[in-house]
């Protein structure tokens, strides 16, 4: 803000003074977009540390992330050498039976390796839970995850949890084998032993309660012109991690009141708590972020419904924090999409459409400000997320679709409008173009064959499953198949009279005859069937066969049976795009998918 004299005021209190106020100065008074946090009273570490590891039962708990197992093996070897009378128990936490045994038997534990946003945050909660069971131990993380782990411990009410970090430059390139990771374990073993055995300090047993200041309701920037005040506002919000890097619309009280006119829902209504820090999402806080995104008031009910999806389905946390470049699809199906001029034709995932772009951006800003997500702090996507400012926000093209709407396929009425939010991947199991376009000639049957082939590749999950292991190749998948109208019309002519009929064809065409399965595949399926859910596990939801599907899977595992590679309800067919257009698919683990009915709209005919 070179060349500007700017004053900053919070709730009427001067925090940063520029030049003296002039009569013709301009002030921008904006509302705070942050969600309120309710942190617990901090508890100290109550369990005395073991004085010596000799003769003790030491649990070495692997969190299931690849490479961490090799580090755990190396640590176990070192402990056996240093303490030959100690008993070591190495296990993966997702194995419920092994974890239950360790809880009963262990004297102390080492838990690791937290390696990213989700690994740092959620695995930290496992360590806190063990401390509360009366078991003293430590959490081992990569140094890139230390900030997130510390924040997680604080939010869980145990701010002085003992955490040992490994240098990222040493840990990540060398975790491929025990031999390569052994020097990293050797360099850290003394710190690990010290953290396990060092007597608790008074500040660890009685941590100081941080003063929880009530968040300022307003922020005022004052400058010699509106342009300078606007620039100061944008700079301030970005510095505080309240923005997304693009210019923001100032959320003044008047602008927020106008936004709230788009819904009859009370500004104080609590939608839920937004991961990871569980900021309280009220209608008003969502409206503030919608203003900042540049949304119109008639878009607000759509943004609220999308946020309801994100707070009601717990498995969206992976997308929010993973180092992988997962992102969201936000799809609107129903008459309100056309009424607010959402794009469902040429460029359906692109720029140039205020409704699509600002609805997605309103969700992004709400996640930043109410969930406290920020690159490098909880959100650890190493190269970022595709369409990260607006996500993949699109509408269903019902004007040109020959079939029932997406919502009708879920049991809603034609006049209902719903928002479906779903995590999708990039690369690998991410987006694939199936066919269409104007460059190469294409055939409808051949394109459908490619779709079937793509879904059939889910067979690869059969032999990959191991209890408690975070193996993306083993996670059960969903398929979002976006069919452009031209292809949909051609499929209708080929006899596929509904989306349900097309879905059932894909499902049946991808089932695998029992006789073709390898012994490893049969073992993997049976292990998956027989796995018991642990108390807390971040991988189990991705791996678990839905209970309603278990009879079908069990019945198929016999001579003459045909084993499904995907659950039929995990095949989602959407008609969107143009004529000509492209059909494409997006995949992810079968979790993190939710549909909500839009309600409470006041400025549109639909969605009321």
Q: Provide mean pLDDT across the span 355-372.
A: 98
Out of 210-224, 257-271, 399-413, least confident range: 210-224
Checking if the pLDDT of 488 tops 90, the result is yes
- Give tens-digit pLDDT for 465-479: 888 788 888 889 999
> Which is it for strands 270-274 and 279-282: parallel, antiparallel or unpaired?
antiparallel
Per DSSP, the residues of 279-302 read EEEEHHHHHHHHHHHT--GGGHHH
Question: Would you state the pLDDT for residue 93?
Answer: 84
Rounded distance between C-alpha atoms, residue 294 and residue 291, angstroms = 5
Q: What is residue 89's three-state secondary structure?
A: strand
> Which is it for strands 327-333 and 392-395: parallel, antiparallel or unpaired?
parallel
Checking if the pLDDT of 23 tops 70, the result is no
Question: Would you state the pLDDT for residue 537?
Answer: 59
Q: Provide mean pLDDT across the span 279-301.
A: 98
Residues 92, 122: contact at Cβ < 8 Å?
no
Question: Would you state the pLDDT for residue 9?
Answer: 55
- Give tens-digit pLDDT for 426-463: 655 568 999 999 999 999 999 999 999 999 999 999 99
Rounded distance between C-alpha atoms, residue 204 and residue 162, angstroms = 9
Q: How does the average pLDDT of the chain come out, rounded? A: 92
Checking if the pLDDT of 5 tops 50, the result is no
Rounded distance between C-alpha atoms, residue 584 and residue 483, angstroms = 7
- Give tens-digit pLDDT for 92-135: 988 878 888 889 999 999 999 998 877 888 899 999 999 999 99
Checking if the pLDDT of 1 tops 50, the result is no
Out of 170-174, 205-209, 340-344, least confident range: 205-209
Question: Would you state the pLDDT for residue 472?
Answer: 84
Question: Would you state the pLDDT for residue 98?
Answer: 85
Question: Would you state the pLDDT for residue 13?
Answer: 56
pLDDT band at 499 (very low <50, low <70, confident <90, very high): very high
Strands across the sheet with 163-166, in order?
Answer: 87-92, 57-62, 108-114, 137-142, 163-166
**Nearest residue to 440 (alpha-carbon basis) of 450, 452, 428:** 450
Question: Would you state the pLDDT for residue 237?
Answer: 96
Checking if the pLDDT of 2 tops 60, the result is no
What percentage of the chain has pLDDT greater than the value 70? 94
Rounded distance between C-alpha atoms, residue 306 and residue 331, angstroms = 9
- Give tens-digit pLDDT for 519-559: 999 999 999 998 876 655 566 778 889 899 999 999 999 99
- Give tens-digit pLDDT for 205-257: 999 877 667 778 999 999 999 999 999 999 999 999 999 999 999 999 999 99
Question: Would you state the pLDDT for residue 69?
Answer: 95
Rounded distance between C-alpha atoms, residue 396 and residue 407, angstroms = 10
Cα three-residue angle 197-200-203, rounded to 5 degrees: 150
According to DSSP, residue 355 is labeled H
Three-class HEC string of 491-548: HHHCCCCCHHHHHHHHHHHCCEEHHHCCHHHHHHHHHHHHCCCCCCCCCHHHHCCCHH
CATH class of 57-205: alpha beta
Rounded distance between C-alpha atoms, residue 456 and residue 474, angstroms = 14
Q: Which residue has the higher pLDDT, 581 or 39?
A: 581
Out of 145-149, 240-244, 273-277, 423-427, least confident range: 423-427
Q: Which residue has the higher pLDDT, 304 or 17?
A: 304
Checking if the pLDDT of 401 tops 80, the result is yes
Question: Would you state the pLDDT for residue 363?
Answer: 98
134 CB-contact burial (10 Å; exposed 0-12 / middle 13-18 / buried 19+): exposed
Domain edges within the chain:
57-205, 253-597
- Whole-structure pTM over 0.85, yes or no? yes
């Amino acid at each position: 803000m070179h060349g500007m004299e700017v004053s900053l005021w919070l709730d009427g209190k001067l925090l940063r003074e520029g030049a003296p106020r002039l009569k013709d100065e301009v002030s921008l008074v904006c509302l705070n977009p942050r969600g309120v946090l309710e942190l617990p009273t901090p508890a100290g570490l109550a369990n005395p540390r073991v004085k010596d590891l000799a003769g003790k039962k030491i649990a070495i708990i692997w969190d299931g992330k690849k490479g961490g197992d090799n580090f755990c093996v190396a640590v176990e070897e070192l402990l056996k050498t240093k303490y030959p009378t100690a008993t070591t128990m190495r296990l993966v936490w997702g194995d419920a039976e092994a974890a239950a045994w360790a809880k009963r038997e262990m004297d102390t534990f080492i838990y690791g390796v937290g390696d990213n946003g989700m690994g740092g945050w959620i695995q930290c909660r496992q360590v806190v839970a063990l401390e509360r069971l009366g078991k003293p131990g430590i959490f081992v993380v990569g140094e890139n995850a230390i900030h997130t782990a510390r924040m997680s411990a604080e939010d869980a009410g145990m701010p002085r949890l003992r955490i040992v970090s490994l240098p990222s430059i040493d840990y990540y390139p060398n975790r491929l084998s025990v031999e390569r990771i052994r020097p990293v374990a050797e360099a850290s073993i003394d710190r690990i032993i010290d953290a396990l055995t060092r007597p608790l300090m008074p500040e660890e047993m009685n941590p100081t309660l941080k003063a929880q200041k009530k968040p300022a309701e307003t922020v005022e920037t004052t400058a010699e012109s509106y342009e300078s005040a606007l620039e100061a506002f944008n700079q301030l919000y970005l510095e505080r991690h309240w923005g997304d890097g693009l210019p923001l619309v100032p959320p003044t009280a008047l602008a927020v009141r106008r936004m709230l006119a788009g819904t009859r829902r009370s500004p104080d209504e609590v939608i839920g708590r937004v991961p990871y820090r569980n900021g309280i999402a009220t209608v008003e806080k969502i409206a503030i972020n919608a203003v900042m995104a540049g949304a119109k008031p008639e878009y607000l009910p759509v943004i609220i419904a999308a946020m309801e999806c994100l707070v009601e389905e717990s498995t969206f946390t992976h997308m929010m924090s993973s180092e992988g470049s997962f992102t969201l699809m936000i799809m609107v199906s129903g008459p309100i999409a056309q009424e607010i001029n959402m794009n469902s034709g040429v460029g359906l995932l692109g720029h140039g459409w205020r409704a699509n772009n600002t609805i997605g951006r309103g969700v992004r800003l709400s996640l930043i400000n109410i969930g406290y997500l920020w690159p490098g702090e909880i959100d650890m996507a190493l190269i970022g997320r595709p369409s990260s400012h607006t996500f993949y926000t699109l509408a269903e093209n019902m004007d040109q679709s020959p079939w029932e709407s997406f919502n009708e396929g879920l049991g809603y009425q034609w006049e209902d409008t719903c928002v479906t939010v779903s995590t999708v991947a990039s690369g690998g199991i991410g987006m694939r173009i199936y066919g269409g376009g104007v460059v190469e000639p294409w055939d409808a049957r051949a394109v459908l064959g490619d779709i079937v082939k793509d879904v059939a590749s889910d067979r690869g999950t059969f032999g990959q499953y191991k209890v408690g292991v975070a193996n993306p190749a083993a996670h059960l998948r969903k398929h979002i198949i976006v069919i452009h109208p031209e292809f949909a019309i051609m499929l209708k002519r080929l006899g596929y009279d509904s989306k349900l009929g097309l879905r059932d064809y894909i499902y049946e065409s991808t089932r695998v005859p029992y006789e073709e399965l390898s012994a490893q595949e049969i073992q993997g399926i049976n292990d998956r069937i027989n796995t018991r859910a642990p108390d807390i596990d971040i991988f189990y939801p991705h791996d678990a066969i839905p209970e309603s599907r278990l009879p079908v899977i069990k019945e198929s595992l016999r001579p003459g049976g045909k084993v499904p590679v995907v659950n039929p309800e995990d095949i989602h067919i959407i008609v969107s795009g143009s004529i000509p257009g492209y059909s494409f698919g997006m995949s992810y683990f079968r979790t993190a998918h939710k549909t909500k009915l839009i309600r409470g709209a006041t400025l549109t005919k639909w969605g009321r």
